[in-house]
Chains A and B, each alone.
Chain A
Amino acid sequence: MTITTQKPLVRIEGLHKYFGPHHVLRGIDLTVNQGEVSVVIGPSGSGKSTMLRCVNLLETISAGRISVGDQLIGYREVNGRLHDLRVKEIAAQRREIGMVFQRFNLFPHKTALYNVMEAPVQVKGKNKAAAKKAALELLDRVGLADRANHYPAQLSGGQQQRVAIARALAMEPELMLFDEPTSALDPELVGDVLNVMKDLAKSGMTMIVVTHEIGFAREVGDRLTFMDGGVVVESGDPREIIANPQHARTKEFLSRVL
């Protein structure tokens, strides 16, 4: 439970996504308030990762709208008509949104420190000394100050994922997206990553977390959304849904993962 306001930061309205003939998102509506931790669960293939990837345009939006803050993601609306944004404008929108991937996707040819410094220096034009100082502080925050000069291949999965979180935070985003951040980790490494995410939630970061960690949803989540077959089946207070799911599909899913 975190400090939240009633001011919506992310608005997903009527989101549809087709991959060729496959209709994977069938009208998703989701609002995330400022400072809220919104947890999304569901069986694999339910479209939860695709929805998350639409928010920073790693997937194009087939129908519907997503807005973050006052920005319409991916489009400019002129006289009621949508115009695609240019690559540079999309990149500018992405700078406000941090993303953490299931497979970490750290840059293997750069040390932990340089992974974290890369975007502030190259994208924001921050000077190297300041970026290094900030990066070391972030690495310290995720408990990896002593691993700054290690390459990703020299780090465990849990350490890599924490570097990846620090790398995303280095851009000082207003929203963080987590795409199954602990699914590729050995069980004993999951806790460290979840702890970093809990601290982040407490600090007031707005987060959308796609995960299978029901415990995290219950403990940290402000809202839990259960997706199946490309639609939102159920959405509400995490503790209520987990204790007392209203839909048969939610019940069945929770009984299998709990």
Chain B
Amino acid sequence: MDHHQPGHAAPVLNDAVPVRHPGRWISAIIIVGVLALMVQSVITNHNFRWDVVGTYILDVKVVQGVGWTLLLTVASMVIAIVLAILLAVMRQSDNPVLRYTSWVWVWFFRGTPVYTQLVFWGLIAVLYPKISAGVPFGPELFSVDTSTVITALVAAILGLGLNESAYLAEIFRAGLKSVDKGQTEAAEALGMGKGKIMWRIILPQAMRIIVPPTGNETIGMLKTTSLVLAVPFTLDLTFATNALANRIYLPVPLLIVAAIWYLVITSLLMVGQHYIEAYYGKGVDTNLAPAVINPAAAKAAAAVAPSAEAEPSLKMDFPEDEAK
């Protein structure tokens, strides 16, 4: 039955000649050639003004712009993610009021341009000069000037975050729907409450589906922040580089400066996304132990190194605690 009895000689592995792929080599040569020509033209073309790019790439205003752009991106995405979880859960609720509210929110914030929304957030102090709290139709408890609470930064973050929440809500809804109904049933059968089922069972599994498009949205948001001049908020990367370009009458090198920075941040975000995906893929996307794929191979491995198999099962750590 078992051909891999310990003690038998190891089989001679097949040494087959692999299929050759000349097309790959030809296409690689063509692409590398074209790429080399393009790089050479970009480097040698004086109109790009690489010297100016070098001067401004680490300019204080530019680096500060990078900081503000990052702040806008992170803050608005945090607001959007929190709202999106809430909206997606509301959408699945048994309570029709919550379901309908969630639907209307998505309809409105997805259905109007983000630029328009940003202008309105910028104008909020004009529309409502004072924010006050009190009994409806009754006495006022306290009141503040809107412009001191909703600064340009707050308006920009709220505008971007609320708009984004509508898109993310749909991504989260799709993620929640992708989790097998049997998971909810199993958790219900154990007597778990609704909140725990969502938070501990459904959402962690849905995250596998939710993370890639959310990474996409985050990178999209990075560049959407350039619209905050509609508020107007005037410190972000695009506004800063535009202002510098207008001052020295050289738009091209400063566009390149901005593009380089956007690429750098995007690359960093992609690295972060990779780790988040790996975290939520545990148990599903991780490589399976040989014990499952090939029991015979595992047996053979155990025969060679009996201690290697026994050790992990003795070490009962709490992987979830470490992750927290």
Q: Which residues of A contact B (CB under 8 A)?
A: 56, 58, 87-88, 91-95, 97-99, 101, 103, 105-111, 113-114, 118-119, 122-123, 128, 132, 136, 145-156, 164, 167-168, 171
Contacts and interface: CB of A to CB of B under 8 A. Distances in A.
Contacts of B191: 91-95, 119, 123, 171
22 contacts: A87-B193, A87-B194, A98-B189, A105-B180, A105-B182, A106-B186, A109-B205, A113-B316, A114-B320, A118-B200, A119-B192, A136-B316, A147-B313, A149-B312, A149-B316, A150-B289, A151-B282, A151-B283, A153-B283, A153-B284, A154-B288, A154-B291
A119 B292 contact: no
A151 B286 contact: yes
Nearest to B317: A149
A91 B316 contact: no
B185 interface: yes
A168 B316 contact: no
B92 interface: no
A118 B195 CA distance: 14
A136 B314 CA distance: 11
Contacts of A164: 186
Contacts of B187: 107
B137 interface: no
Interface string B168-208: 00000000000010110111111111101000110011000
A128 B189 contact: no
Given A105-B182, A146-B313, A154-B292, A111 B190 contact: no
B275 interface: no
Contact of B188 (A91, A109, A132): A91
A118 to B, nearest CB: 7
Given A122-B192, A154-B288, A105 B183 contact: yes
A155 B190 contact: no
B142 interface: no
Nearest to B196: A122
B261 to A, nearest CB: 36
Contacts of B284: 108-109, 151, 153
A107 B186 contact: yes
Contacts of A118: 190, 192, 200
B190 A123 contact: yes
B25 interface: no
Interface in B257-280: 280
A152 B284 CA distance: 9
B201 A107 contact: yes
A119 B201 CA distance: 11
B318 interface: yes
Contacts of A154: 288-289, 291-292
Contacts of B134: none
Contacts of B194: 87
B139 interface: no
Interface residues of B, number: 34
Given A58-B188, A92-B191, A114-B320, A156 B292 contact: yes
Contact of B200 (A95, A122, A167, A171): A122
A88 B191 CA distance: 9
B283 A91 contact: no
Nearest to B205: A109
Contacts of B188: 58, 91, 94
B18 interface: no
B140 to A, nearest CB: 39
Nearest to B320: A114
Identify the 9 closest CB pairs spanning chains A and B, nearest first. Answer: A95-B191, A151-B283, A105-B186, A99-B189, A119-B190, A105-B182, A94-B191, A146-B313, A109-B283
Interface in B288-316: 288-289, 291-292, 310, 312-313, 316
Nearest to A96: B191
B233 to A, nearest CB: 40
B319 interface: yes
Given A108-B284, A128-B318, A153-B283, A167 B190 contact: yes
Given A87-B194, A136-B316, A145-B313, 10 more contacts: A91-B188, A97-B189, A98-B189, A101-B185, A105-B182, A122-B200, A146-B310, A149-B312, A154-B288, A168-B190
A53 to B, nearest CB: 8
A208 to B, nearest CB: 13
A58 B185 contact: yes
Nearest to A123: B191
Contacts of A150: 289, 291
A147 to B, nearest CB: 8
A149 B189 contact: no
B313 A148 contact: yes
Interface string B194-226: 101000110011000000000000000000000
Contacts of B286: 151
B193 A91 contact: yes
B227 to A, nearest CB: 37
Nearest to B193: A91
Nearest to A53: B185
